[in-house]
Amino acid sequence: MKQSNKFLYLFIISILISSSNSFGQNDHWEKNVTYNNIKFKKVRFLIENSDTLQISGILKNNTVIDGIPCKKNIVFNRNWQIRTFILADDYQMMGSLFPEGTRVSYGSKSIVILFGKDTEFQNYCCNGNFNRWYSTGIFTVLYPSGKLKAFYSCKNVTIDGIYCKSSPFSSVRLHENGKLKECNLAKKQIINGKSFKKNTELIFDEKGNIESAVTSFFWWFI
């Protein structure tokens, strides 16, 4: 597995561990309370990372917050701005339709999405299996603009003429301009007169030029 995919895994895992910790610790919870006109089944106020206040809770009912239909678990920053939520209904934002049950987590440089099921999103089939309050599924990542950054494809897909493989161990990554950035070859392919083996991991620049090509050591998994 290439360094870029390793870093992507570590980035997502760190976010999900942080979120699951905030949801999973039951001490100091306040039950059946209302804060900021929001009714909570339970809620707690956390101090993290040098006194950064975070508010995490479980909504008592499906609730529209800042125009967003939310349900179940939710996380706010100290100013009551939503950082993580689960959609209670289909919702249009950032130019795309997000289906009910989608979990959305805002990071400083990326937005992490967990779809409740395999979902057609921005013309790609994104793998998804998020059905509990913590992550058990496969994530999709967006740029802050809302454009697709990285996803695990439900099926083999051709992007910019490149045969990209569907695998839970290898993501497809895109530049913000929509051009292919990285994928694992679904089959042997000749590109610009050069032959590349199946499972070769290719990285492209924003103009579509190959920057690197490495045959994965984990080919037997993917």
Q: Could you report the per-residue pLDDT of 131-143, keeping only the tens digit for each?
A: 543 444 589 999 9
According to the model, what pLDDT value does residue 51 have?
A: 61
* pLDDT surpasses 50 at 221: no
* pLDDT surpasses 90 at 66: yes
Residue that wins the pLDDT comparison between 48 and 88: 88
pLDDT digits (tens, 9 = 90+) for 115-170: 988 999 999 999 987 554 344 458 999 999 999 999 999 999 999 999 999 988 88
What does each C-alpha distance from 110 to 8, 53, 125, 140 come to in angstroms? 11, 21, 19, 10
Which domains are seen in the chain, by residue range?
3-20+28-151 (3.40.1420), 157-215 (no CATH)
* pLDDT surpasses 50 at 83: yes
According to the model, what pLDDT value does residue 7 have?
A: 44
Residue 209: pLDDT band with limits 50, 70, 90: very high
Instruction: Give mean pLDDT, residues 198-207.
Output: 95
Tell if the pTM clears 0.85, that is, is over it.
no
Residue that wins the pLDDT comparison between 98 and 49: 98
Residue type, 5: N
- Compute the distance between CA of residue 145 and CA of residue 65 in angstroms, rounded to an integer: 21
Instruction: Give mean pLDDT, residues 32-61.
Output: 87
**3 is written with which tokens?**
């360094």
* pLDDT surpasses 70 at 21: no
Residue that wins the pLDDT comparison between 19 and 215: 215
- Residues 6 or more apart whose Cβ sits within 8 Å of residue 176: 143, 145, 147, 149
